[in-house]
């Protein structure tokens, strides 16, 4: 075959494309278990962060197994029921009619044998997705800890939501005011919400991302309101 001809060039190119595609597909299949494991470990670390437990990629799985006692789903009536929660996609569930939702929740028990209930969060910032976890004491009202992350918010501005100084503001805040579910708001420094809700200071220069956190809290925690109310009733 004439190596200078068009036929040879076409065959050679086609073979190389097939070989490279095969190698990439083989690598993707081979790496998939490791990638999935890394994603799971990162998620475990984020859940632990929401109850103020710092972990590393090396010890996150072990700490998660020790500290997160159980996980459930919350049904439309606000009751805890057994079910797959770790792999459950909260964003997809929130798109369903309320009567069809099953919402994931994780349980941590502290050294005083008090339960903390961890709620996953999913929302949008200025440039892309934001997400996180917020933990609530067994009174169903008081925030124990919070963790937020983002995909592409601006460093030094919206990206500050992942910093401890922003997240720690949520500790001790409440979701119910005078018995009514009232989401925590994120306000510009020096301002207060008119509805009397608990609030934290927004990130300076990150208004849209800060409001994204506020919207995320309202959208994601409100479906758990019946469950949180039931916890509160048990404390009376």
- pLDDT above 80: residue 29: no
**pLDDT-derived band at 236, boundaries 50, 70, 90:** very low
The distance from CA 49 to its chain's CA centroid, rounded to whole angstroms, is: 11
* pLDDT band for position 163 (cuts 50, 70, 90): very high
Q: Is the pLDDT of residue 7 over 90?
A: no
pLDDT of residue 22: 67
pLDDT at 24 over 70: no
- Look over the chain and give the mean of its residue pLDDT values, rounded to a whole number: 87
Q: What is the pLDDT of residue 14?
A: 73
Tens-digit pLDDT profile for residues 197-221: 999 999 998 899 999 999 999 999 9
> Which sequence spans correspond to the domains of the chain?
69-235
Confidence of residue 154 (pLDDT cuts 50, 70, 90): confident
Prediction pTM value: 0.84
């Amino acid at each position: 075959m004439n190596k200078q001809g068009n036929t040879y060039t076409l065959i050679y190119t086609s073979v190389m494309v097939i070989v490279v595609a095969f190698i990439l597909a083989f690598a993707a299949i081979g790496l998939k278990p490791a990638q999935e494991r890394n994603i799971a470990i990162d998620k475990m670390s984020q859940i632990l962060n929401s109850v103020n437990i710092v972990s590393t990629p090396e010890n996150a799985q072990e700490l998660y197994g020790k500290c997160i006692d159980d996980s459930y789903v919350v049904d439309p009536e606000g009751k805890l029921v057994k079910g797959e929660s770790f792999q459950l996609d909260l964003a997809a569930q929130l798109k369903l009619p309320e009567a069809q939702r099953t919402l994931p929740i994780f349980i941590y028990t502290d050294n005083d044998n008090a339960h903390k209930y961890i709620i996953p969060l999913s929302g949008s910032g200025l440039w892309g997705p934001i997400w996180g976890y917020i933990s609530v004491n067994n009174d169903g009202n008081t925030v124990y800890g919070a963790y937020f992350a983002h995909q592409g918010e601006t460093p030094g501005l919206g990206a500050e939501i992942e910093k401890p100084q922003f997240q720690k503001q949520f500790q001790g805040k409440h979701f119910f005011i005078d018995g009514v579910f009232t989401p925590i708001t994120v306000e510009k420094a020096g301002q207060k919400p008119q509805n009397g809700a608990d609030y934290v200071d927004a990130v300076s220069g990150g208004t849209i991302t800060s409001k994204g956190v506020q919207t995320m809290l309202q959208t994601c925690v409100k479906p758990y309101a019946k469950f949180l109310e039931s916890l509160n009733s048990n404390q009376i």
